[in-house]
Amino acid sequence: MEISEILDKNIINTELNVTTKRQAIEHIVASLKANGYISDEKAFAQDIYAREKEGKTGIGNYIAIPHGKSSVVDKVGVAIFINKQEIPWESIDEHGVKVIVLFAVGDSNEGAEQHLKLLALFAKKLGNEKVVQSLLTASTADEVIASFTQQ
């Protein structure tokens, strides 16, 4: 699986302008629903919040990778939303978040396998300072995709 195969411009947004984690997740979940990735916004959001309670999804450098393994996922997707300003988020470096990379995967064994592959794929990229800086300044979906694929 390549990052270029999983990224979809329809679920990438560089214009998010919210002030809370809850608002950010609501916007992302709505986008996933509108684009056919999930069948139930409320159920998927609940699965994300359940995972959030297990531990911090803010990985530092103003990036969070929340995720929900859920039975309401119709197709695997990675939504990437960039907020205009830093929002409060539990993070390993105690900073808030601007870039949210949300994985939508099923809750089956296959979904768990896909989840681990996605996590490994994106964690490697997000560990690269050039990728992070490029994401933080991206203003279009194409720039977000380029951040992950041209580094």
* Alpha carbons 30 and 124: distance in angstroms, whole number: 28
Residues 6+ away with beta carbon under 8 Å from 109 = none
State pLDDT tens for residues 52-78: 888 889 999 999 999 878 899 998 899
Extract the runs of DSSP E, i.e. beta strands, from the chain: 12-16, 58-60, 63-64, 67-69, 77-87, 97-105
Dihedral pair phi/psi, residue 55, rounded to 5°: 170, 170
Residue 81 has pLDDT above 60, yes or no: yes
Q: Minimal CA–CA distance to 98: which of 46, 127, 69, 59?
A: 59
Provide the 3-class DSSP secondary structure of residue 86: strand
In the chain, the amino acid numbered 72 is V
Q: Is the distance from CB of 27 to CB of 146 less than 8 angstroms?
A: no
Q: Is the distance from CB of 52 to CB of 69 less than 8 angstroms?
A: no
In the chain, the amino acid numbered 145 is I
State pLDDT tens for residues 25-52: 999 999 999 999 999 999 999 999 998 8
State pLDDT tens for residues 110-129: 756 776 787 888 888 998 99
User: What pLDDT is stored for residue 42 in this prediction?
Assistant: 96
Mean pLDDT value of segment 91-119: 83
